[in-house]
Structure 1
Amino acid sequence: MQAEETQANEYTHIKRKALNWRFSAGKNASHFCRLAWALGITHHPLQQMRIQYEEKTFEGYFNTELARRGNFYFPPGQVQEGSIGADAIVMSKSRWLFRRLGHPYWFRMPFKGMSYREIAEEMELHLGREISNIPDIQGNILFQYKRSEYMVKPSAEEWPHWNEPYFRYDIYPEQQKLLEHLHTKFSNQVLIVYAAPAVQDVGELVDLYVGNQLISRTNFRPSHELAGHKRNTFVEPGAHSWACSDPVRLDPFRFDEALKSLHRPELDIRSAVTSLANDIEEVLLRSPLARPFRTLLRQFGLQDLGADTPLLKAYIKMSAARDITGLQWVIAHAGDARSDA
């Protein structure tokens, strides 16, 4: 019994020394990894600590904080549930349904109802009034949200570039190719950026959201700068990044400065919105996402809309684009575009 206790104490002592070595191993950490794996300190040499929150949670909190700033406009169909305050619109003659809604009838329905075209025309008027209240736009922004992983093991692939814990997110080839195509199409007229939080857990995420500090803890990186890479890594949100697999050090990127450098559209705001939607549609219809994009457009009834509803058609196209790509479209106001990011 005493021998077993002595052996256990020695084992604990070795583990403690190995853990202390871990933080001083630096680039020579491979020997520690083998030892730690053998001792059961880690389940696998490449294990990392994953962020414990959902990407959609970060996206929702980020959008809410951005909207609070007052100089960014979220078009209907992007974050809001429709532009007329309704999640769904239906036409029904069911007596049971109207009775449940507090409007029972027997022979004559209590409401006349509206055709799809009448609803579309009303929505077009509403969108026109809404967009006319927006100041001249500074430019369009397309956000591609990412959930970071927090890498804490010296065995992590990009550790030699940092020699300390760091954040990273994966770059998906098909998604990246689409973003590069959009960048080529729009050049400096549309800012297309990855947005990834430098946040370790859901508790910190919530605290930053409540304190309106989440954007300041978000790393922004123009998508075209990551061409040819499979990951982006960073330690602090406003500092430099290392893009991998062929390592490239990327200079710090300031979101607010990038907004100022955007070229303001020469078109009026209505024409600018419809032009952007048409260009996005053109790119998607030439991409591998063409089939699901067309399917969504049919589902949204785009084919039933006429030339008298250009804004509604534009918003439908951008909403469908968001559904299949995850790209968040935001309009920055001219003259007020500013950020603490």
Structure 2
Amino acid sequence: MDIEFKEKTFEKYFGHELARLTNITFSPDQCDEALLGFDEAFFMPEEWFFRFGPYVRRRRRGRLTGIEIDEFNKLGKSIASHMPDFRLNLFVQFKRPIYLTSRGAKEWSDWKQSYFRYETTPHQQEALERIDAQSYGRAATIYASPAFRHDKVLWEHMRNGAVVEHSNMASAGKLKGHEHYSYIAPGYFGKGHSETVDIESDPLQQIIGTGYERNGPLPLNQHLKKTAAAIIEATSGSDLVTPVFHQVQTAMGLEDLNPNSLYDAMAIIRIFSDAFGVHYYALG
């Protein structure tokens, strides 16, 4: 049975709640229509908007009009110096599962009741595994999907700020080698398939807490540059990941990107997000 709401709707409210779990959250790919990709859930200093307000993106993939990239980088450094530091990256692959109610369903024997299931995509899965490895503990990569299927339930959870609470989350690393993942309830437990394996992932708050304890604080501009450098490494030398990243990079007309430039670093993160359908959140 199909889930009644769209994946994009679930992503939006999950992201809003995620932003409230931390002191400050930044996501450059959260809202396509915003000047720089922010939406109302993500706190940024007013000065950022006041300084960049006059400069608009004239077309979807065009560069900002009216400001030099060097000036953008300098201003970004200045703004970052007045903001809280950042410690962790969270890459979230949202999934819209199907709900299986038939005794003839392939994994029915594993659950002996109705269950949710989604597929993993090889190039997305490898991209998440590689970015996790290249980030040296500064990133967490997870899948997130609803453990409910009706529109009215989504709106109820949205009003109560309980979308995250009623979602199922799985570590991308623990899904390595599995083509499907199934679950029956919110939380962090499910099963990987085709050879059935129980999978228990770390709770989101534990992921955030461990990341904060383990990682040194960095200003936002440095944090984003470090993230972009990890993405460049993660998307190099892979038969599955590299062609997809380069295809999107070329389509966007963003060749010769330098992760040591804040403007380019944000572009690299956006390319990765678009190429692999992943949402990126910097947590501070």
Q: Please classify the TM superposition score into its range, dividing by the shorter chain length.
A: 0.7 to 0.9
1:54 aligned to 2:6? Answer: yes
How many Å separate the matches in 1 of 2:27 and 2:73? 13
Contact 2:169/2:188, CA 8 A, preserved across alignment? no
Work out which of the two has the higher radius of gyration on C-alpha atoms and give 1 or 2: 1
Q: Once the two structures are aligned, what percentage of the paired residues are identical?
A: 26
Q: How does 1:326-341 map to 2 (within 5 A)?
A: 326-333=277-284
Partner of 1:165: 114
Partner of 1:246: 195
How many Å separate the matches in 2 of 1:306 and 1:56? 31
Q: 1:163 to 1:182 in 2, by over 3 A?
A: same
Q: How does 1:59-208 map to 2 (within 5 A)?
A: 59-69=11-21, 71-79=23-31, 81-83=34-36, 84-85=52-53, 88-89=57-58, 118-208=67-157
How many Å separate the matches in 2 of 1:237 and 1:68? 19
1:280 aligned to 2:249? Answer: no
1:230 aligned to 2:174? Answer: no
- Give 1:300 deviation, angstroms: 5.2
- Give 1:216 deviation, angstroms: 0.6
How many Å separate the matches in 2 of 1:177 and 1:280? 12
Contact 2:84/2:219, CA 8 A, preserved across alignment? no
Q: 1:173 to 1:305 in 2, by over 3 A?
A: closer
1:3-61: CA deviations, max 9, x gaps? Answer: xxxxxxxxxxxxxxxxxxxxxxxxxxxxxxxxxxxxxxxxxxxxxx1212211111122
- Give 1:319 deviation, angstroms: 0.8
1:228-267: CA deviations, max 9, x gaps? Answer: 1111111111252111111111235311012111221465
Partner of 2:270: 319
Contact 2:119/2:180, CA 8 A, preserved across alignment? yes
Structure 2 SS opposite 1:193: strand
Q: 1:229 to 1:270 in 2, by over 3 A?
A: same
1:165-215: CA deviations, max 9, x gaps? Answer: 111111112221222222222242211111111111222112212221101
| Contiguous gaps of at least 5 residues in structure 1 | 1-48, 91-114, 334-341
Partner of 1:258: 207
1:55-113: CA deviations, max 9, x gaps? Answer: 111112211222344524123344362333566237xxxxxxxxxxxxxxxxxxxxxxx
Q: 1:123 to 1:172 in 2, by over 3 A?
A: same
Q: 1:281 to 1:239 in 2, by over 3 A?
A: closer
Task: Pick which of 115-124 and 190-199 moved more.
Answer: 115-124
TM-score normalised by structure 1 residue count: 0.67
How many Å separate the matches in 1 of 2:85 and 2:124? 31
- Give 1:291 deviation, angstroms: 4.5
Q: 1:318 to 1:78 in 2, by over 3 A?
A: farther
1:279-310: CA deviations, max 9, x gaps? Answer: 20232243445455345445656458889x81
Structure 1 SS opposite 2:87: strand
